[in-house]
Amino acid sequence: MKLYEYSAAELSEMLMTGKCSSAEIAYDVSERIKEAEPAVGAYITLNDSMLRDAELIDNARNRGGLPHPLSGIPIAVKDNISTAGIRTTCASRMLSSYIPPYDAHAVDCLHRAGSIVTGKTNMDEFAMGSATDTSFFHTTHNPIDTAYSAGGSSGGSAAAVCAGEAILALGSDTGGSVRQPASFCGIVGFKPAYGAVSRRGLIAFAPSLEQIGVMGKTVRDAELLYQLISENDPMDPMMRTCSCKHSSSLRIGVPKELFDSTIVSDECREASFSALRLLETDGAVLTEISVPKLRYAANIYYVISSAEASSELARYDGVRYGHRSQNAAGLESMYVKSRTEGFGDEVKRRIMLGTFVLSEGSREAYYLRALAAMRELRHELDAVFDSCDIIAAPTYPRPPFSANEAQSATDKYSADICTVPANLAGLPALSVPCGKAKNGLPVGIQLMSPAGAEQRLFAAAKKYEELCGGFAQFRGGSGYAV
CA-wise closest residue to 117 among 79, 174, 175, 73: 73
Question: Of the residues 7, 12, 22, 153, which is catalytic?
Answer: 153
Pairing of strands 43-46, 429-436: unpaired
Catalogue the E-assigned strands of 368-472. Answer: 390-394, 429-436, 442-448
Question: Of the residues 22, 78, 338, 431, which is catalytic?
Answer: 78
Catalytic residue check, 177: yes
Residue 74 to residue 383: CA distance in whole angstroms:
41
Pairing of strands 429-436, 442-448: antiparallel
Q: Report the run of H or E that residue 411 belongs to, with start and end.
A: helix 409-414
Partners of residue 430 on adjacent β-strands = 190, 447
- Residue 447 Cα to chain centre, angstroms: 15
- Residue 294 Cα to chain centre, angstroms: 21
Residue 248 to residue 389: CA distance in whole angstroms:
10
CA-wise closest residue to 352 among 384, 320, 309, 312: 309
Phi-psi region of 20 (alpha: psi -120 to 50; beta: other; left: phi over 0): beta
Catalytic residue check, 402: no
Backbone angles phi, psi at 450, to 5 degrees: -65, 155
Whether 369 and 331 have beta carbons less than 8 Å apart is answered as no
Amino acid at 288: E
Catalogue the E-assigned strands of 157-275. Answer: 168-173, 188-191, 211-216, 251-255
Whether 343 and 310 have beta carbons less than 8 Å apart is answered as no
Question: Of the residues 12, 157, 177, 310, which is catalytic?
Answer: 177
Partners of residue 75 on adjacent β-strands = 117, 168
Q: Per-residue DSSP letters for 157-191?
A: HHHHHHHTS-SEEEEEESSSTTHHHHHHHTSEEEE
Which residues are tagged catalytic? 78, 153, 177
